[in-house]
């Protein structure tokens, strides 16, 4: 794989509610979180989105650049604003999201982006949330761009990250996910996402693509199934010291998995790296853990040991 990644999606203003009801502001979004962790792991990564021309959008752009994320494909839309969400967490660290994003700038990315620019990257990463923010016409443009890039040697990684509120038309979600499964080289899924989207048929729907797709299925206990080149294995997660906030657990897992695979690690070793980083991230509030909490990028020889 070529170690250049473009993450496509949306970053929003994040308000995290504390136990006293006070709100603390940050920024987050599933594919942006993955981009941050990829950059911290030493992978060249760009973020592909649209922002407004407001002060918060200025601050987002500056933060991403400070993290080492490329921003040449971040389009600024006059008069638009970023979306906003609130995170509430229970005593076990499980989170609940409340969204205000219907008129967010990111929804209008394809008013400005030249889809052919996506073919310049070695890997394109997107999620189910990415698909949900676009209308049918924009999704068609996106899928066309993914197919074109893939025909030129780019690999596509898709995270199933599913939020029911983003898909009022469940049939549209099924159609979009079916296209994503077909076009993806790597699918990072969770049993929870599949159950929400398909019910009991979710796992079978995904595994129909196992012959042609590298699949990582995170289970409802600390483990994942990895299917690759006709082989299947179970990779257990190590113990986690403390769970404070599960926000971005899946996003960080995806970053560590992709970073390891880009460096030549096996899928099994990449899954272990994903579990390890997610275990660090859930021990901190919010989507982005402090940089100091992350260990150095692992050498492929160590990952495969």
pLDDT digits (tens, 9 = 90+) for 92-136: 767 788 888 888 999 999 999 999 999 999 999 999 999 999 999
What residue spans of the chain are helical by DSSP H?
Answer: 30-40, 55-66, 128-132, 136-151, 170-183, 191-198, 202-207, 249-262, 267-281, 300-303
- What dihedral angle (degrees, nearest 10) is formed by the CA atoms of 291, 262, 69, 190? -70
Which residues is 15 bridged to in the sheet? 25, 86
Catalytic residue among 185, 251, 276, 299: 251
Classify residue 203 by burial, with Cβ atoms within 10 Å: 0-12, 13-18, 19+.
middle
Alpha carbons within 13 A on the beta-carbon side of 163? 15
pLDDT digits (tens, 9 = 90+) for 171-187: 999 999 999 999 999 99
- What is the mean pLDDT of the segment spanning 215-220? 97
What residue spans define the domains of the chain?
Answer: 4-303
CA distance 168 to 171: 9
Looking at CATH, the fold of the domain delimited by 4-303 is given as 3.40.1190
Instruction: Provide the pLDDT for residue 287.
Output: 78
- Phi and psi at residue 178, to the nearest 5°: -60, -40
- Decide if 251 is catalytic: yes
- CB–CB of 67/41 below 8 Å? no
Lowest mean pLDDT among 16-30, 215-229, 285-299: 285-299
């Amino acid at each position: 794989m070529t170690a250049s990644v473009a993450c496509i999606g949306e970053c929003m203003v994040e308000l995290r509610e504390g136990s006293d009801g006070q709100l603390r502001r940050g920024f987050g979004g599933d594919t942006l979180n993955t981009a941050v962790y990829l950059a911290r792991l030493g992978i060249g990564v760009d973020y592909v989105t649209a922002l407004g021309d407001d002060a918060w959008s200025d601050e987002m752009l500056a933060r991403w650049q400070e993290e080492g994320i490329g921003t040449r494909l971040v389009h600024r839309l006059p008069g638009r604003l970023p979306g906003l969400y609130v995170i509430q967490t229970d005593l076990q660290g499980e989170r609940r999201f409340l969204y205000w994003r219907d008129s967010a700038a990111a929804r209008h990315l394809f008013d400005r982006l030249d889809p052919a620019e996506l073919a310049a990257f070695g890997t394109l990463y997107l999620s189910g949330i990415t698909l949900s923010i676009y209308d049918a016409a924009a999704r068609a443009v996106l899928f066309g761009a993914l197919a074109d890039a893939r025909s030129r040697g780019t690999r596509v990684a898709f995270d199933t990250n599913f939020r029911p509120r983003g898909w009022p038309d469940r049939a549209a979600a099924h159609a979009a996910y079916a296209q994503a499964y077909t076009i993806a080289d790597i699918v990072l899924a969770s049993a929870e996402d599949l159950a929400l989207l398909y019910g009991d048929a979710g796992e079978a729907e995904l595994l129909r693509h196992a012959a042609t797709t590298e699949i990582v299925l995170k289970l409802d206990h600390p483990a994942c199934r990895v299917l690759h080149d006709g082989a299947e294995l179970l990779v257990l997660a190590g113990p986690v010291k403390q769970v404070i906030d599960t926000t971005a657990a899946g996003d960080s897992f995806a970053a560590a998995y992709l970073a390891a695979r880009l460096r030549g690690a096996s899928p099994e070793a990449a899954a272990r790296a994903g579990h390890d980083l997610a275990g660090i991230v859930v021990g901190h509030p919010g989507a982005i853990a402090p940089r100091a909490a992350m260990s150095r990028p692992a050498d492929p020889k160590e990952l495969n040991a």
